[in-house]
Copies of this chain bind each other. A is one copy, B any other.
Amino acid sequence: MTEIVVPTDAREETRARIEQAALDLFTAQGFEAVTIDEVADAAGISRRTFFRYFGTKADAVWGDFDGHVVRLEAMLAATAGSQSVLASICAAYVEVNDYDDAALPTLRQRMRLILTEPALLAHSQVRYGDVDRVVAAHVARRTGVPPDALVPRLVATSTRAAATTAFEMWLADVRLPLARALHDAFDELAAGFPSLR
């Protein structure tokens, strides 16, 4: 059993170095074409050590996604009861994805890989499952139905579908702000696709 160790001071620097090396190599040559040995070499560590920082090859692309989910959960819990459930989810998604400009290039790099490379797209389903559970729990809390009932599950999966689509639109158009893309997608969804008449 391989343990992912708790990050300490200097350790975080190594982790960041591996992550950046992986991101750069994957972007340049494609995810499948790069071996773990090459990433490890580029980061100045051994192959075995790579797996002490990231459980799988795909994990190196996702950064601290667990933290991301935890933040989303906190933001959902902090939303005002006065706004609609869908609006609260949209607000949380926007807030949790409110990166400052310096972080945007890396985010683009990350998301382009995740949405483009089949192996990473596949892996994303597992990660998004965590998001769905958090959102479904929020909807269940707000509506008073069990989290595994139709509406919480459906709201969770379809809002996540909306967020993913928003990311795709954001990726395709450099001038479209992420928050705007998210709002556009959520507005369509919340209104039952009014543009379809």
Binding site for B on A (CB under 8 A): 84-86, 118, 121-126, 129, 139, 142-143, 148, 150-151, 153-155, 157-158, 160-162, 164-165, 168-169, 172, 184-185, 188-193, 195-197
Residue pair B155, A196 in contact (C-beta under 8 Å): yes
Residue pair B125, A188 in contact (C-beta under 8 Å): no
Number of copies of this kind of chain in the complex: 2
Known contacts A85-B197, A143-B195, A154-B188; can you find 16 more A-B pairs with CB under 8 A? A84-B197, A85-B196, A86-B196, A121-B125, A122-B123, A143-B196, A148-B172, A150-B165, A150-B169, A150-B185, A151-B196, A154-B185, A154-B189, A157-B164, A158-B162, A189-B192
Q: How far is the CA of A160 from the CA of B184 in the complex (A)?
A: 19
Residue pair A150, B188 in contact (C-beta under 8 Å): yes
Q: How far is the CA of A168 from the CA of B161 in the complex (A)?
A: 17
Q: Chain A at the B interface: mostly helix, strand, loop or mixed?
A: helix
Q: Which residue of B lies closest to A186 (CB)?
A: B154
Residue pair B161, A158 in contact (C-beta under 8 Å): yes
Q: How far is the CA of A190 from the CA of B194 in the complex (A)?
A: 9
Whole-angstrom distance between the Cβ of A61 and the nearest chain B Cβ:
14
- Top 8 nearest A-B pairs (CB, nearest first) are A192-B192, A157-B161, A122-B122, A158-B158, A125-B125, A161-B161, A158-B161, A85-B196
Instruction: Given the known inter-chain contacts A85-B196, A121-B126, A192-B191, please indicate yes or no for A154 contacting B161, CB distance below 8 A.
Output: yes
